[in-house]
């Protein structure tokens, strides 16, 4: 039975990262590319073309906002990354591995290298915070004695140690999202994907979540966040990739939500 690498989310900054320029891979020493999309086109069976020739590179340690109006193709990008969908044309490479040619039985292994959170948290209501997080390790065959310390560590990262034994129903929206983030982190993923993580949260809580994601990024995890939240994107000034009608219309570092010309 294939075992997952022991989950040890201590999030040491990777060696390739330079503290002074964490978001500028192009002027740093050769950096590993976590995600590469090359000429990706995706059309659905109903004829809708969601993506047209998308090229996107995300180096290790990057923090990327994926923005754009509804239907621009953000969700499709994420579905391709978690291999929920396959590209019609082009390559999607995670750590150099072509997701389009992945064998079915290798899909779970790739998913363990990606942590993903959604607008609707997707927590199991009858499990405690601790069990929800541990579930991700349990169902991938991690021994129990490794699960407990790993869960404790990620709960510390997201600041939920005190709520570990509560059920999702007893938590606020922000705490639920932090539980989901902890679960996504517990496998020590190469790429952390957040799909509208603040969509259900009020502005103050949204800020807390963004701060948490930035902190996780500082700990060395590559983050891709799809969002509509213009205030957050503009305030944080990170790399912004804007999609429109399935095309990348802008890819700027330290940018705002909207084009600033």
Partner 1 sequence: MVRFMAFSIRRAWHGFWKNGLMSLAATATMVLVLVLLAGLIILVTGLNATLDYVQSEVQVVAYLKDSTTQQDVIALETTLQRMPQVTQVKFVSKAQAYQDFLARHPGEADVINSLPNNPLPASLQINLSDPSNYVDVATYLNSEPGVDHVMNIQQTVEQLNTVIGVLQTGGTVLLVIVGLIVLFIVVNTIRLAVVARADEIEIMRLVGASDAFIRWPFIIEGAMVGLFGAAITNVLLLLSQGPITGFMAEYFKVLPVEASATVGPTIGLIVLGAGVGIGVLGSFLSVRSYLIR
- Residue numbers at the binding site for partner 1 (CB under 8 A): 1-2, 4, 82, 84, 105, 108-113, 116, 122, 124, 126, 135-136, 138-141, 143, 183-184, 187
CA distances from 128 to 9, 49, 61, 98, 170 (A): 20, 41, 31, 36, 10
For partner 1, the closer of residues 31 and 76 by Cβ is 76
Find all residues with CB under 8 Å of 83, minimum gap 6, and list them.
Answer: 99, 102, 107, 110, 111
For partner 1, the closer of residues 126 and 170 by Cβ is 126
For partner 1, the closer of residues 36 and 133 by Cβ is 133
Nearest approach, Cβ of residue 122 and partner 1 (Å): 6
Helix (H, G, I), strand (E, B) or coil at 125: coil
Nearest approach, Cβ of residue 186 and partner 1 (Å): 8
Nearest approach, Cβ of residue 241 and partner 1 (Å): 23
Burial of 26 (0-12, 13-18, 19+ CB in 10 A): exposed
For partner 1, the closer of residues 18 and 113 by Cβ is 113
For 54, list phi and psi in degrees, rounded to 5. -85, 130
Nearest approach, Cβ of residue 112 and partner 1 (Å): 4
């Amino acid at each position: 039975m294939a075992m997952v690498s022991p989950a040890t989310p201590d999030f040491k900054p990777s060696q390739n990262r330079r503290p002074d320029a964490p978001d500028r891979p192009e002027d740093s020493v050769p950096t590993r590319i976590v995600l590469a999309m090359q000429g990706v086109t995706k059309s659905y069976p109903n004829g809708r073309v969601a993506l047209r020739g998308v090229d996107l590179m995300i180096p290790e340690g990057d923090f990327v906002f994926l923005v754009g109006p509804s239907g621009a193709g953000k969700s499709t990008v994420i579905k391709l990354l978690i291999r929920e969908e396959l590209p019609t044309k082009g390559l999607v490479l995670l750590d150099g591995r072509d997701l389009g040619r992945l064998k079915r039985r290798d899909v779970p292994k790739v998913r363990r290298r990606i942590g993903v959170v959604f607008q609707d948290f997707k927590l199991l209501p009858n499990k405690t915070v601790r069990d929800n997080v541990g579930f991700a390790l349990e169902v991938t065959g991690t021994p129990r004695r490794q699960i407990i310390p790993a869960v404790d560590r990620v709960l510390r990262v997201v600041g939920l140690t005190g709520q570990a034994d509560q059920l999702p129903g007893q938590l606020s929206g922000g705490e639920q999202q932090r539980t989901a983030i902890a679960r996504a982190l517990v496998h020590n993923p190469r790429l952390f994907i957040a799909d509208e993580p603040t969509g259900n949260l009020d502005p103050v809580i949204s800020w807390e979540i963004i701060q948490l994601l930035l902190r996780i990024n500082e700990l060395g995890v590559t983050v891709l966040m799809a969002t509509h939240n213009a205030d957050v994107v503009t305030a944080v000034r990170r790399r912004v990739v804007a999609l429109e009608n399935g095309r990348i219309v802008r890819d700027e570092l330290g940018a705002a939500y909207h084009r600033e010309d």
